[in-house]
Amino acid sequence: MARTCLPSTFALNLAQGMATRIEREGSESQVRRHLPSLICGERIAAVSLSEPGAGSDFSAIATWAERAAGGWRLHGTKAWVTNGAHADLALVYAQTEPGSGAAGIASFLVELHADGVSRAADVPLIGGHAIGAATIVLDGVFVADDDLFAPPGQAFKRALTGITGARIHVSAMACGIVADSLARAVDHGRVRHSFGRPLIEHQGLRWSLADVATGLEAARALTYSAAQRIAAGADATLAAAHAKRFSADMALSGVAACMQAMGGVGLRADLPFGRHLAAARIVAYVDGTTEMMRDRIGADLARRRGGRPNPEAPR
């Protein structure tokens, strides 16, 4: 799907992921009330993690939840909410004990048409309109106890697990935009002639596209390796960081190289290279920046003793 439009795929994947999370982690009441409408597409879901002052440092969120009769009242502002422009339901993370950091964070299923919910103007993203990013303001929004999704002590850990899986999904999407770009560049090189022979027969072009192909295969291998760890129930945190870091860099350079191989044709607005290039930039930010991935990988290296591999680290 990402070969056609990565932002649309990202938005749909998040909505589907929310339905999956409710099915796996929700209470019987939450499954009964929310899941059917999400599965059939009558309603769209979102996840609210980031805030104007808290992005990569998720434990620093300022949105807070106070106890009320029969439930909670949520106060705060969530930013960069995927599907936020049109979502009906959101999984909102809020601090229940100021000063307690990750230990006090809980998550709630919030109806986005409830009293006290307002949405700021859509966040305009270069090449990412389909993501539907928006800012959501919560002004004393009441959430019944029945829609507490994960209590303090569990919500933060569940969020990190979900982000690990999301990073693998994004890596796969990055492979998609490069695969489409490469196929188009190769087809163009076969039919376009220069100096009496097809472009693909010129060593400079052929080597450039060969490098893209190798990068794509490497990114796919890292992505599948991380996905297999998830499927096996193993810790995929480091594997996902490797996959997303490499895939993000590979996508940016790979799409640019394929675009260059097309010559001036690559600039045509009716071809997807411009969209793919913008999407490659989006990949570098969503579900953890490229810098965060490098830091996580570097932290694992720092934990190794005397240059010897950590026996507890996933291989």
Q: Are 240 and 226 in contact (CB under 8 A)?
A: yes
Tokens representing residue 132 in the block: 């539907």
* Global pTM value: 0.89
pLDDT at 311: 58
pLDDT at 52: 85
Nearest residue to 7 via CA among 82, 88, 79: 82
User: What ranges do the domains of the chain cover?
Assistant: 6-150, 157-303
Above 60 in pLDDT, residue 41? yes
| Domain topology for 6-150 | Butyryl-CoA Dehydrogenase, subunit A; domain 2 (2.40.110)
pLDDT at 191: 87
Above 70 in pLDDT, residue 45? yes
pLDDT at 101: 87
Above 60 in pLDDT, residue 63? yes
* CATH class of the region 157-303: mainly alpha
125-140, pLDDT tens digit by residue? 888 999 999 999 999 9
Tokens representing residue 254 in the block: 């790979």
pLDDT at 256: 97
* Long-range contacts, stretch 288-296, CB < 8 angstroms, 24+ apart: 288/56, 288/163, 288/167, 288/241, 288/244, 289/56, 290/244, 290/245, 290/248, 290/249, 292/56, 293/167, 293/241, 293/242, 293/244, 293/245, 293/248, 294/245, 296/237, 296/238, 296/241
Above 60 in pLDDT, residue 123? yes
